[in-house]
Structure formats: C-alpha cells, structure tokens
Chain A
Amino acid sequence: QSALTQPASVSGSPGQSITISCTGTGSDVGTYNLVSWYQQHPGKALKLMIYEVNQRPSGVSNRFSGSKSGNMASLTISGLQAEDEADYYCCSYAGSIIPYVFGTGTKVTVL
C-alpha cells in the first residue's frame, strides 16, 4: 500500500477557507467511506478531526468539514484561525490485513 498523496503545504490568512486534498486509489479511499483526518501540533498527540469522511467528533469545531469524491478526499477549514496552524494527515481504511494507510501530511500555515 502506498501513502495517500497530500500537498506538502497550504496557507491562508485568518478568516479565509482552505482545502487540503488527499488522493488515494480504488483500494482505499475509492472503496471505503472510512476516511479520517488528524491534526498534529508539534510535540502533541494527534487529534481526530474528521472520521467516516465527514463526521466530526464531539468537541471539534464545525469550521472543519470533510468530503470525498472518487479516490480523493478533502478537508476544508473555514474561518481560519491561528490555532489551526499545524500538520494535518488523512487516513483511509484499506482492508483487514493492512487496515490503515496514511497521507503524506500537509503543513498548514496561517499567514
């Protein structure tokens, strides 16, 4: 299984919206509606932001939303805030033997 492809970096000004893409294959993103997104601040534990493509865990801001079309999933952050500056990783379920394949990671910078 190859890593899912994400842009290395995305930036935006406070208040703007940004979208991070996550491109997989028909064996992972394209087959399962089980795409999740994680936020990672330096030295901190990863935080689940989106699961099952577009579901938000309790406590996650509704500024975060997810979608999927074919082999590509996306994370949109609306009303960008300074605290959103972090690394973001997508993840897709890929079957029982190798269950998870992760994205290459995207660094979000708030200008």
Chain B
Amino acid sequence: EVQLVESGGGLVQPGGSLRLSCAASGFSFSDDWMSWVRQAPGKGLEWVARIKQDGSAKYYVDSVKGRFTISRDNAENSLYLQMNSLRAEDTAVYFCARDLAVSGTIDFWGQGTLVTVSS
C-alpha cells in the first residue's frame, strides 16, 4: 500500500524558514517523480514543485522560485521542501504526492501538513 506521510509544518513568522519532509513507503520511491502541492485555507489546489527520480531536474511555480527548494533522498525514501523567506500567502496545507510524469497524473497523496505564516 502506497503511503506518503508529511511532517514539519507549523507556525512561522514572515521571512522565516521551514523544512517539510515526506516519508514514502509501499512503492519504489526512486522510480517516480514527486511533487508538492498546496491548498490555502478554504481555497483550491496549487502545484508547487516537482523533482525527477534522480533529482537532476526540478521545477517550481513562479511564486516560489528562488525561495523554495525541493529535494529527495532515495536511500531514505524521503522527499523534502525547504521553504525560505516565507510570506503570509504561503500559508497552506502542503501535500506530498506521487507524480506519474509519463501519464501526466498525480496518483497518490499524503494527508498534508499545515504551514501557517503569521506574526
């Protein structure tokens, strides 16, 4: 059974940093692209970042470029999102997701971790 478990969310002041983690199990993590998707309170979903199987390619939505960094550790079956220079508009639940790049589909999601940026 595919499982994705996020952690690392919390309350942070504007301008602060946070590192999210996602522990993957139940599939061959190193075979798949992975993505982070976020959902602001009461709002819809927004794709944030994506990383290739070996970490050699990374893509970001414009609003987080230069501030967020996606990375992975295939030996640990873990995905990360380093978030710097956080803004109030980054407040959201952040989901880790398995990204089937070949079929242009995200097929499995974690339950998410809440990031609140507020003074």
Give chain A's interface residues, CB within 8 Å of chain B: 3, 32, 34, 36, 38, 43-48, 51-52, 57, 89, 91, 93, 96-105
Please tell me which stretch of B14-22, B70-78, B80-88, B106-114 contacts chain A, meaning at least 4 of its Cβ atoms lie within 8 angstroms of it: B106-114
Known contacts A48-B107, A51-B103; is A105 also within 8 Å of B44 by CB? yes
B35 is an interface residue with CB less than 8 A from chain A: yes
Contact B47 A52 (CB under 8 A): no
Within the complex, the shortest CB–CB distance from B16 to chain A, in Å, comes to 26
Contact A91 B59 (CB under 8 A): no
Could you list 25 A-B pairs, sorted by A, with CB under 8 Å? Answer: A3-B44, A36-B106, A38-B109, A43-B111, A45-B95, A45-B110, A45-B111, A46-B109, A48-B105, A48-B106, A51-B103, A51-B105, A52-B104, A89-B44, A91-B45, A91-B106, A93-B105, A98-B59, A98-B61, A99-B35, A99-B99, A100-B35, A100-B37, A102-B44, A103-B44
Give chain B's interface residues, CB within 8 Å of chain A: 4, 35, 37, 44-47, 50, 59, 61, 95, 99, 101, 103-112
Within the complex, the shortest CB–CB distance from B90 to chain A, in Å, comes to 17
In the complex, given contacts A52-B104, A100-B35, what are 16 additional A-B residue pairs having Cβ atoms less than 8 angstroms apart? Answer: A34-B103, A45-B4, A45-B108, A45-B110, A51-B107, A52-B103, A96-B59, A97-B59, A99-B50, A100-B37, A100-B47, A100-B106, A101-B47, A102-B44, A102-B45, A105-B45
Contact B104 A48 (CB under 8 A): no
In terms of DSSP, what is the predominant structure of the interface of chain B?
strand
Contact B105 A99 (CB under 8 A): no
Contact A48 B108 (CB under 8 A): yes
Cα(A45)–Cα(B112), bound, Å: 7
Closest residue of chain A to B112, judged by CB?
Answer: A45
- Residue with the greatest number of chain B CB neighbours at <10 A, chosen from A38, A46, A102: A46
Contact B104 A89 (CB under 8 A): no
- Taking CB atoms, residues of chain A closer than 8 Å to B59 are 96-99
Within the complex, the shortest CB–CB distance from A73 to chain B, in Å, comes to 13
